[in-house]
């Protein structure tokens, strides 16, 4: 597996020199300053590629090309933005990048309720607390008809939590949820979030899935022609937020996407943390089933809690069988090599490392500090080497 590292461009507090020191050989990046839905100019793609290669690294994966909201709703100028997405693919292909990670989450991207949750042992982690989220949705945002999306027990717990919050905590919670996290596709204030979620009233999961498949029917043939592999990222967290449909959360969702467009160019980003936030997702079984169409991997770990909350755990110590997932991926790589597939080496990256040591007092992007991810990458590489040593066939 190719060790890669997410880098947010020249403004990232983590330098490319530090990426190399962490042990990565590939970079996962995007043109975050051009996240409007318009096409990426080839000159900007080449500029980013040159920055990465000047540091002795390879631009391995684009994460992500944003998908305009009109495409998800299939309304308004969606044709224009679909064509722009195709043009971005063409620019990326000219730049030599072969894997594109993207997501289809409506309105809000990956979401957390706490960006500096104190771990029981040491350091800080990202956390999603289901009661905090419900408290925000019900009593701060006051979304219309929100009550129908929660049980009576959850509403009572959320009310009690809300009443315990100081005004400062309420403000902090709102900013954490709607201000946008690194790599996300937008941020909101309260009014704009209410407006945007209202646009999805009446949109069911089957409708959003149909819009996703319709989009893929447009872009996958272009990706095939260019030799680019598309890899959809799962929802994070993998369930409905703000009453919005989410359609990349389960094994059944992945099956529907892959069956919708049966092409090697239509594949998955297998995020262990996102799929692993649901106890009903059997991750090792999913890797084995979908392995030929897994083009990119996020080896991220979460610790699930009984009420559905979770926090970012150490990469090798959480609710998911990380070693089993890596073993299954290595077997897929071995199979691809025997079939002479040019994409036999799957790019992987550590994700959402803990805030540790000197990084605690430094400016960092939430979830993307240096030391926590360096620690995670070292552990993951150790597992890979150990599995190959124990079973030499995995290295063949």
Q: What average pLDDT does the segment 339-352 reach?
A: 95
Q: How far apart are CA 336 and CA 93, in angstroms?
A: 22
Q: Is the pLDDT of residue 187 over 80?
A: no
The whole domain housing 362 covers 2-108+201-395
**Structure confidence at residue 383 (pLDDT):** 97
In terms of domains, do 56 and 38 share one?
Answer: yes
Per the annotation, the verdict on 339 as an active-site residue is: no
Per the annotation, the verdict on 233 as an active-site residue is: yes
**Structure confidence at residue 393 (pLDDT):** 85
**Structure confidence at residue 120 (pLDDT):** 84
Per the annotation, the verdict on 295 as an active-site residue is: no
In terms of domains, do 285 and 299 share one?
Answer: yes
Task: List the structure tokens of 57.
Answer: 């690294």
pLDDT grade for 85, boundaries at 50, 70 and 90: very high
Which of 148, 178, 197 represents a domain boundary (last residue)?
Answer: 197
pLDDT grade for 87, boundaries at 50, 70 and 90: very high
Q: Are strands 266-271 and 229-232 parallel, antiparallel or unpaired?
A: parallel
In terms of domains, do 238 and 379 share one?
Answer: yes
Conformation bin of residue 159: beta by default, left when phi > 0, alpha when psi is -120 to 50: alpha
Q: Is the pLDDT of residue 181 over 80?
A: no
Task: Please check whether residue 53 is in contact with residue 32, taking contact to mean a CB–CB distance below 8 angstroms.
Answer: no
Q: Among 298, 311, 315, 354, which one carries the catalytic annotation? A: 298
Q: Is the pLDDT of residue 1 over 80?
A: yes
Per the annotation, the verdict on 68 as an active-site residue is: no
In terms of domains, do 351 and 255 share one?
Answer: yes
Total Cβ atoms within 10 A of residue 179: 12
Least confident residue range of 182-186, 273-277, 284-288, 315-319: 182-186
**Structure confidence at residue 189 (pLDDT):** 87
Q: How far apart are CA 80 and CA 92, in angstroms?
A: 19
Cα end-to-end distance, the chain, whole Å: 13
In terms of domains, do 169 and 243 share one?
Answer: no
Q: Is the pLDDT of residue 185 over 90?
A: no
Q: What percent of the chain shows pLDDT beyond 90?
A: 93
Per the annotation, the verdict on 315 as an active-site residue is: no
Q: Among 124, 200, 311, 368, which one carries the catalytic annotation? A: 368
Q: pLDDT (tens digit, 9 = 90+) per residue, 193-219?
A: 999 999 999 999 999 999 999 999 999
β-bridge partners, 232: 102, 268
In terms of domains, do 184 and 243 share one?
Answer: no
Sign of CA dihedral 94, 95, 101, 107: negative
Q: Among 18, 68, 233, 315, which one carries the catalytic annotation? A: 233
Total Cβ atoms within 10 A of residue 11: 8
By CB atoms closer than 10 A (0-12, 13-18, 19+), residue 120 is: exposed
Q: How far apart are CA 228 and CA 7, in angstroms?
A: 20
Helix (H) or strand (E) holding 219: helix 205-226
Q: What average pLDDT does the segment 252-272 reach?
A: 98
Q: pLDDT (tens digit, 9 = 90+) per residue, 347-395?
A: 999 999 999 999 999 999 999 999 999 999 999 999 999 999 999 888 7
Q: Is the pLDDT of residue 182 over 80?
A: no
**Structure confidence at residue 259 (pLDDT):** 97
Per the annotation, the verdict on 101 as an active-site residue is: no
Q: Among 109, 137, 253, 351, which one carries the catalytic annotation? A: 351
In terms of domains, do 188 and 45 share one?
Answer: no
In terms of domains, do 275 and 364 share one?
Answer: yes
Instruction: Report the side by side order of strands in the sheet with 124-128.
Output: 114-118, 124-128, 310-312, 302-304
Q: Among 101, 124, 253, 271, which one carries the catalytic annotation? A: 271
In terms of domains, do 241 and 278 share one?
Answer: yes
Q: What average pLDDT does the segment 105-117 reach?
A: 94
In terms of domains, do 275 and 218 share one?
Answer: yes
In terms of domains, do 82 and 152 share one?
Answer: no
Domain total for the chain? 2
Q: pLDDT (tens digit, 9 = 90+) per residue, 303-317?
A: 999 999 999 999 999
In terms of domains, do 119 and 104 share one?
Answer: no
Average pLDDT, the chain: 95
Which of 197, 213, 234 represents a domain boundary (last residue)?
Answer: 197
Q: Among 311, 352, 354, 359, which one carries the catalytic annotation? A: 352
Distance (Å) of CA 33 to CA 29, 38, 230: 12, 11, 21
**Structure confidence at residue 122 (pLDDT):** 83
Helix (H) or strand (E) holding 83: helix 78-94
**Structure confidence at residue 184 (pLDDT):** 72
Kindly state the DSSP code that residue 136 receives in the 8-state scheme.
I
């Amino acid at each position: 597996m190719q060790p890669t590292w997410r880098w947010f461009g020249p403004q990232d507090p983590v330098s490319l020199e530090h990426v190399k020191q962490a042990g990565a050989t590939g970079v996962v990046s995007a043109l975050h300053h051009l996240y409007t839905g318009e096409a990426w100019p080839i000159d900007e793609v080449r500029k980013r590629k040159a920055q990465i290669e000047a540091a002795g690294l390879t631009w391995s994966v684009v994460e992500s090309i944003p998908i305009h909201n009109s495409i998800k709703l299939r309304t308004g100028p969606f044709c224009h933005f679909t064509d722009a997405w195709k043009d971005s693919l063409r620019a990326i292909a000219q730049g030599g990048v072969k894997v594109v990670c993207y997501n289809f989450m409506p309105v809000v991207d990956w979401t957390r309720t706490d960006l500096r949750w104190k771990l029981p042992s040491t350091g800080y982690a990202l956390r999603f607390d289901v009661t905090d989220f419900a408290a925000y949705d019900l009593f701060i945002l006051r979304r219309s008809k929100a009550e129908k999306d929660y049980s009576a027990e959850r509403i009572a717990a959320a009310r009690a939590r809300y009443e315990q919050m100081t005004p400062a905590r309420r403000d902090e919670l709102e900013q954490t949820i709607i201000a946008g996290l690194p790599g996300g596709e937008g941020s909101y204030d309260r009014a704009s979030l209410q407006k945007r979620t209202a646009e999805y009233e009446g949109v069911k999961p089957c409708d959003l899935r149909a819009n996703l498949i319709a989009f893929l029917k447009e872009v996958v043939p272009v990706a095939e022609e260019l030799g680019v592999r598309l890899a959809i990222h799962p929802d994070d967290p993998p369930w409905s937020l703000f009453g919005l449909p989410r359609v990349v959360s389960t094994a059944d969702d992945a099956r529907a996407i892959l069956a919708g467009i049966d092409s090697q160019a239509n594949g998955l980003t297998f995020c262990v943390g996102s799929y692993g936030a649901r106890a009903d997702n059997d991750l090792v079984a999913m890797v084995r089933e979908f392995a030929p169409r897994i083009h990119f991997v996020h080896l991220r770990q979460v610790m699930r809690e009984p009420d559905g909350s979770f926090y970012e755990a150490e990469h090798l110590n959480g609710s998911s069988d990380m070693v089993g997932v890596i073993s299954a991926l290595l077997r897929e790589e071995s199979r691809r090599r025997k079939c002479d597939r040019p994409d036999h080496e799957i790019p992987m990256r550590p994700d959402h490392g803990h805030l540790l040591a000197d990084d605690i007092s430094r400016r960092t992007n939430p979830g993307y500090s240096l030391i926590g991810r360096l620690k995670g990458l070292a552990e993951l590489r150790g597992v890979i080497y150990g599995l190959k040593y124990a079973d030499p066939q995995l290295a063949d």
